[in-house]
Amino acid sequence: MKRYLNSQFRDMIVGVNTKVPLESGEYVTAINFDNAATTPPFCSVMKAIMEYAPWYASVHRGKGHKSVFSSELYEESRITIKKFVGADHTKEVVFTKNTTESINILAYLLQADSKEQVILSTDMEHLANDLPWRDNFTLDYVKIKEDGQLSLADLKEKLVKYQGRVKLVAVTGASNVTGYINPVYRIAELAHKYGAKILVDGAQLVPHAPFDMKSSKLPDHIDYLAFSGHKLYAPFGAGVLIGPQEDFAKGSPVYKGGGAVGLVSHDFVEWDNPPNRYEAGTPNMMGVVAMTAAIQTMNTINCSAIHDYEKKLIDYAIKGLRHIPDINLYCCSDGSEERVSLISFTVNGLYHSIVAAILAQEAGIAARSGLFCAHPYVEKLLKMTDKELAYYHQNVDVLVPGLVRISFGLYNTYDEINVLLELLTRVVKNKNYYNNKYKNEARNVGEEKTHFLWYC
């Protein structure tokens, strides 16, 4: 079974056999364990792009055959996406650049009388589901437990505390640091009980597991969902924000211009109906085609099959990492946690960026190191004190602690994981050697801190 899944899924991906250079000058087949950041494209996506390219034209702006065809394809894509995530007829799909833009648009939309409204984010969020809420709302954070998982008890306590003032609970579907899958339906039911709505940041969850927004009549339905094509095997910069039509009909758009309006004079502006009012300018048709093709491909595979296979991969990797001395896993207690296919770790005595450099230069393995744009979460997992954080903030030449992250896609294999485990076993036994060999990697990270490249 493993061999069948490996070969069938792997053949669907562009570039899996690409050779990359090592520090030694040798070339090896690249191993991509950085799928949580960006996935490579499906072959079907590139095929769809090439097939559509001769028909590419303006959307909603012409009567020519190509323009009409492009407009119809654009609207049909909304239907495909809604079906993919179980969004009912009350929901609308707004096309964006990515998850970050989607959440920023929602924050702008909800900001009317915002100082009286409370947004509950959490201690485990990506900055995209934290920073947009900071300026115009009363913002509070649901705590995490000792094992890094979200505290539902604290969520309930805060919902009670604010006595109906909570506008929204904004929570990640799956953490980009630990891989934990949050119980979003239990959270939704709690939020609705206290008069709040729920936003799920689906960037890490939707590409790796089945997701259902559910009927808006159910108490545990999801009000808003955001996710990105580039983590879904679809490049070209498209994302979505899905939410209630009635909510989208209330606000004025953050981006204002052609395509977002009905009639305009110097004296008035008549905003178009959603979703058009939130899609000013020429839309990213290539990105929409790519994302739709990726979703259609995932439907043929079956998202449950993807999740099951990737679970076997991450369980295999975690089991192997546990047997290597001096490796610390974040977070992984008894192995029963619901998670997507990623895990973060540290190696005692080796700076995180050095470990990532070793993986790349010695075996062609792409991994991620740093704080993964989820700074408060990683800071809490590493138990950084306020005093330490202030010190790092005030001293830009000091190296900040971080983690190393590996994240799998449906095309990764057990053999690739074995390469990782063998290399880390060798590295742990020869830390002094590798520290000296790659010491400049840590220095380079320090030099980049002032440009904010070192920790994202």
Q: Which two tokens stand for residue 5?
A: 């899944």
Mean pLDDT of 219-223: 98
Residues in the chain: 456
Rounded (10°) angle between helices 414-429 and 303-322:
20
Confidence at 337, pLDDT banded by 50, 70, 90: confident
List, for residues 101-146, the tens digit of each pLDDT value.
999 999 999 987 666 899 999 999 999 999 999 999 999 999 999 9
Q: Is 214 left (phi over 0), alpha (psi -120 to 50) or beta?
A: left
Active site residues: 373
List, for residues 222-270, the tens digit of each pLDDT value.
999 999 999 999 999 999 999 999 999 987 899 999 999 999 999 999 9
Mean pLDDT of 1-8: 45
State how far the Cα of 8 lies from the Cα of 3, in Å rounded to an integer.
Answer: 8
Identify the DSSP state of 143: P
Give me the domains of the chain, ranges plus CATH numbers: 2-32+302-451 (3.90.1150.10), 46-300 (3.40.640.10)
- In angstroms, the Cα distances linking 313 to 54, 157, 310, 343, 417 are 40, 37, 5, 11, 8
Contact 352, 346 (CB under 8 A): yes
pLDDT attached to residue 105:
97
Rounded (10°) angle between helices 352-363 and 414-429:
120
Confidence at 450, pLDDT banded by 50, 70, 90: very low
Amino acid at 8: Q
Mean pLDDT of 409-415: 96
Q: Which two tokens stand for residue 292?
A: 């739709």
pLDDT attached to residue 439:
84
Q: Residue 323: pLDDT above 90?
A: yes
Confidence at 397, pLDDT banded by 50, 70, 90: confident
pLDDT attached to residue 442:
76
Q: Is the peptide bond before 331 cis (omega within 30 degrees of 0)?
A: yes
**% the chain with pLDDT above 70:** 94
Torsion of CA 45, 46, 52, 57, to 10 degrees: 100
State how far the Cα of 62 lies from the Cα of 104, in Å rounded to an integer.
Answer: 30
Q: Which two tokens stand for residue 432?
A: 């002094």
CB neighbour class for 392 (10 Å; exposed up to 12, middle 13-18, buried from 19): middle
State how far the Cα of 32 lies from the Cα of 409, in Å rounded to an integer.
Answer: 9
State how far the Cα of 184 lies from the Cα of 116, in Å rounded to an integer.
Answer: 25
Confidence at 336, pLDDT banded by 50, 70, 90: confident
State how far the Cα of 354 lies from the Cα of 431, in Å rounded to an integer.
Answer: 11
List, for residues 58-67, the tens digit of each pLDDT value.
998 889 999 9
Q: Are strands 19-21 and 27-29 parallel, antiparallel or unpaired?
A: antiparallel
End-to-end CA distance of the chain: 37
Residues 6+ apart with CB under 8 A from 39: 207, 230, 231, 232, 233, 409
Contact 225, 200 (CB under 8 A): yes
Helix (H) or strand (E) holding 172: strand 166-172
Q: Which two tokens stand for residue 387?
A: 């005093």
Mean pLDDT of 162-167: 94
CB neighbour class for 276 (10 Å; exposed up to 12, middle 13-18, buried from 19): middle
Mean pLDDT of 282-305: 96
Q: Are strands 365-366 and 368-370 parallel, antiparallel or unpaired?
A: unpaired
